[in-house]
Structure 1
Amino acid sequence: MWHDILVSGIPLAEKAIRTVAVYLCVVVLLRVIGRRDLAQLNTLDLVVMLLLSNVVQNAIIGDDDSVTGAIFGAVVLLGVNTALARAAARWSGAGRLLEGRDTVLAEDGRYDIATIRRLGLRLADLEMAIRRQGGTGVADTAKVTLEPGGTVVVRLRPEEKSASVGDLAELTARLDRIERTLRSLAARPH
């Protein structure tokens, strides 16, 4: 029993090669097929991610059901991911290659329908992102982009932006200064 738990069924070098190869293939596939914010997966995206992990599992583990092999594979996977993430952060060319560039989805209050269709996005999802960021619809936007990580970023037209608590506090302070100045001018004898 302990032998099966602790002794890897395949050489660790083979396990490392399998893990890195599958990782890189999945990264390339996800990069080529499209990008969406993984924190906001819809039902279909979630099912694909769950099944994808199951599909590639045997390619990574091979004939190895040991705990040692699983831990080793996890260490290799996390190590490769960390190395690529740091490379993307350090070198802009690596970041563009691994993550891509911003994609404009709407500009000056109008959607780029061709780009949205090419990316397989739904207008309802974009409208929700606009509402979440304070707009009422695409007409309120200056620019809507899909960031490399899959996040939709909405920049509202200046006249559509909401005032923050800080903005109101600054405006109130300025009005108070103006009132004090006007009172001091009115109190002066003419």
Structure 2
Amino acid sequence: MLTDMFALDMSVWEKALRTVGVYLALLILIRVFGKRLMAQMNSQDLVVVLLLSNVVQNAIIGNDNSLLGGVIGAVVLVAANWALDEVSGRVGWFDRLVNGTPTALITDGAPDTEALRRLSITSHELDVTLHEQGADAVAEVQRATIGPGGAVLIELNDGDRSVSRDDLAAAVTALREHLDARLDAVETSRR
């Protein structure tokens, strides 16, 4: 039994190459189709992600069901991911190649219908995302982008931005000063 746990059915190098190959293939798939997948995962997207792991499992492990084979695959996978992150973090063009760049979804209150179509983002999904981030309508948005990892960043028009505590405190102070000045003027006119 213990020998089965540690007996490899393929060489370490074949296991490593299979793991890196599948990793790169999935990376390319997610790079091509991933922005929308990462941004708003619906039930079909979830099914695809769950099935992807099952589909590629045999490509990585082959007939090898040993504990050692699984550990080798996991170590290679984590190491390949770390190496790719290191290179991406240091080389700008490589980072853009691997991770992509942000895509504008809305500019000056107008949705980019071509970008939304290309990313398969429906108007309903866009509206939900806008509402989650504090916008009531597309017209309130100066700029909205979706990043390579699927995060949607929204910049509201100046008049549509939420008020901060400092903004509110300044408004209350200004109102108080205005009212005090008016009261002083009324008292002065009564004398």
Task: Give TM-score, length-normalised by structure 2.
Answer: 0.86
Letter in 2 for 1:12: V
Q: How many residues align?
A: 183
Structure 1: 5+ residue stretches without partners:
none
Shift of 1:7: 1.7
CA RMSD of aligned residues (A): 2.3
1:94 — aligned with what?
94
Letter in 1 for 2:105: L
State how 1:131-150 maps to structure 2 within 5 Å. Answer: 131-150=131-150
Large movers: runs of 4+ above 2 Å? 36-40, 165-176
Task: Give TM-score, length-normalised by structure 1.
Answer: 0.86
1:33 — aligned with what?
33
Q: 2 CA distance for matches of 1:77 and 1:174?
A: 60
Q: 2 CA distance for matches of 1:40 and 1:27?
A: 18
2:82 — aligned with what?
82
1:103 — aligned with what?
103
Q: 2 CA distance for matches of 1:169 and 1:91?
A: 45
Letter in 1 for 2:13: A
Identity within the alignment, %? 43
- C-alpha change, 1:80 and 1:6, in structure 2 (3 Å) is same
Letter in 1 for 2:163: A
Asked if the contact 1:143/1:156 (under 8 Å) is kept, the reply is: yes
- Which digits, 9 at most, give the CA deviation of each residue in 1:85-123, with x for residues without a partner? 222222211110011111111111111112211111111
Structure 2: 5+ residue stretches without partners:
186-191
- Which digits, 9 at most, give the CA deviation of each residue in 1:16-36, with x for residues without a partner? 000001100110111123423
State how 1:1-190 maps to structure 2 within 5 Å. Answer: 1-36=1-36, 38=38, 40-169=40-169, 171-172=171-172
- C-alpha change, 1:66 and 1:57, in structure 2 (3 Å) is same
Where relative contact order (Cα < 8 A, 6+ residues apart) is larger, the structure is 2
